[in-house]
Structure 1
């Protein structure tokens, strides 16, 4: 279905509706869970609880770990059982087994601990009196999905398609012959470094996992242990960090080269030129989500936007590990 608001075209199809509903569901679920967490913590009263069982499980098809704790307690003379670690209804997952073990260490079976009970829901006690961040992540993903679909639906639906470029014989750009004083082709070769760094990163991570598991004694659960920088695992972790930094640097260099290449292509478009996708998010999102029928200009915009987003992803992942 197509319609216009003023002079702005808008296209809505079944996929648009499904994705908007999906985003709304995630945003609503996360928002509701976070609010109920805060309310439960504010109203909670402490009681004694006895741990019945505790374990660490790895959900199927997941690289993360979940801590499961079951306990019983009395509230106003009635016995209850609960398995909630946090007040959230969304399970908390840990990226490494060592982090999960550090959490479960306080909840050995038959030990007495303090649980917290919301009088409005006495059968849903929890052990950790703090909110989790997973609901906020749900809200962020939901909001991003809605924004992405809205930007894709608004504006021209065929940017980067059928763009008429003047032949190189008629117009050859003299701009950006070098970048930082380095030849353009040399900068463009940074994309080979991306592949090499990604391979080094993957090999390092696989080797760290192999050495970590092989170092554990058979039949005993793994436990956190100190890692020296000159140990094989320490050296592999340093290699992985260097590989990530190389990936980020190479992606940023290639993004810069690709953006200047986009500018050179844009100069070959006859007047009046279409609006720049990098100044109009609706056009950029539509190009990024288009798989077919893009011309040379559209494909260059897509490669530039994609590599820049990929660089931001690796930067965010690195900061998350270093800061949090």
Structure 2
């Protein structure tokens, strides 16, 4: 049984595709909203801990726009409430920011050299999810926007059919 879906055509297949786009878009936007809320709470509840930077770097990956994106990476160790942890997040959001240039990604890691003692942050409700910067990332808002646009495109497709 073949699945024949095309955007811009009329009929039940195009309506199903448009409805699927709406569902996926709402789900993606919902995840972005959840991530935004989680990071806001983590920043509000953050307590400082001493940490040691183990490793830093920049990962390169292909972007959706056909170019290259760069993502800062870090590993640091810290102790909280008598337990040892290893963290890998610069910001508390699970959706991490990507940058258009390697230098922009590296600049996020300024002041976090390997072997350095730094201040990290933990939410006492989730001590294993430590992060280096008690700031909110814009990445969850971008996810909300992409999901919203996807859902909007689906709505427009339903209205046109």
Q: Same fold (TM over 0.5)?
A: yes
Structure 1 unaligned residues grouped into runs of 5+: 1-10, 158-324
RMSD: 1.8
Distance 2:126 2:81 in 1: 13
Shift of 1:148: 2.1
Unaligned runs of 5+ in 2: 1-11
Residue of structure 2 in register with 1:66 after alignment: 71
1:116 pairs with 2:118: no
Identify which of 40, 43, 46 aligns with 2:45: 43
Q: Distance in 2 between matches of 1:95 and 1:119?
A: 34
1:149-298 equivalences under 5 Å are: 149-154=154-159, 157=161
Equivalent position of 1:101 in the other structure:
106
8 Å CA contact 2:58–2:71 kept in 1: the answer is: yes
Q: Which residue in 2 is equivalent to 1:57?
A: 59
1:60 Cα deviation after fit: 4.4
Q: Deviation per CA, 1:268-313: give whole Å up to 9, x if none.
A: xxxxxxxxxxxxxxxxxxxxxxxxxxxxxxxxxxxxxxxxxxxxxx
Task: Please state how far the C-alpha of 1:59 moved relative to its aligned partner.
Answer: 1.8
Measure how far apart 1:42 and its partner are.
0.5
2: CA distance between counterparts of 1:89 and 1:17?
Answer: 28
What does residue 125 of structure 1 align with?
130
Structure of higher RCO (CA pairs closer than 8 Å, 6+ residues apart) = 2
**Offset of residue 94 of structure 1:** 1.2
The 3-state SS of whatever aligns with 1:29 is helix
SS at match of 1:131: coil
TM-score between the two structures when normalised by the length of structure 1: 0.43
Matches of 1:34 and 1:48, distance apart in 2: 25
Count of residues paired in the alignment = 147
Which structure has the greater CA radius of gyration? 1
Deviation string 1:93-144 (CA, Å, 9 cap, x unpaired) is 1111111222223111110110000001000000011111111111112112
SS across alignment from 1:59: strand
TM-score when normalising by structure 2 = 0.84
